[in-house]
Amino acid sequence: MRNLFLCLGNPFKPSTKPLRLLCTFVSPMIVLTLFSPSTYAKAEQWTVEPQESSIRFSLQHLTFSRVEGRFTKFSGTLDYDGVNLTNASVSAIIASDSIDTKNNMRDNHLRNDDVLDVRAYPSIKFVSRKINPHADGSFDVVGDLELHGVIKPVTLVASPIAAVRVDSAGKKHMLARAATVIDRKSFGVYVDKSIDKGGHIVGDQVKVELKISLVEKLG
């Protein structure tokens, strides 16, 4: 620290030649230290609270109704310093067999080899590649979705993050909401190949809505 003040200059005592030589080496080190990434806010890890979160989907059925469902088992993490969304990263995993449309016969069909094939593909995974924030606080999460053994890019359109609250144990919580639309056939997911050939009984576009509660991981 003494060298820092000497290199910046002492108005009461001119620096000597040896000191000027020292500053030649010290000054770049000072600049690197002051602007090193380590001086910025450190990313905190947040984990998904499944009991406070939901992953829901819907798609057209026939021409007058929609099938709605959800996944009940999932987990995920967020690395985020609370300031710079562009530096944040997200990863999540969903248990394929936890699909629930409130119809046991239909759910068993969706789990079988012809549709999700949960024995071969037990997990649905998402990993972010970049996050693009907008001026109004909303943001887009661009990442790779792995579904039915196929990996394709998707974009989650997210609303502004809800205000952070602190619980009685001192842990921070926040809420995020996002949505996207995926083409199930592009992931090789067919409700019934003979039916799907008709193209109008079950829609191809699946709307996904996420409500994700996150808690700060301490320690």
What mean pLDDT comes out for the span 13-31? 44
CA angle 190, 57, 128 (to 5 degrees): 95
Contact (CB, 8 A) for 30 and 8: no
pLDDT, tens only, 163-176: 889 999 889 999 99
Closest CA to 212 of 47, 6, 93: 47
- What is the torsion angle, in degrees rounded to the nearest 10, for the CA atoms of residue 154, residue 163, residue 70 and residue 68? -90
**CA–CA separation, 129 and 115 (whole Å):** 28
Contact (CB, 8 A) for 140 and 88: no
Instruction: Tell me the whole-structure pTM to 2 decimals.
Output: 0.77
Summary mean pLDDT of the chain: 82
Task: Count CB-CB contacts under 10 A for residue 164.
Answer: 12
The H-or-E segment that residue 26 falls in is helix 17-34
What mean pLDDT comes out for the span 184-192? 87
Q: Is the pLDDT of residue 148 over 90?
A: yes
Amino acid letter, 85: L
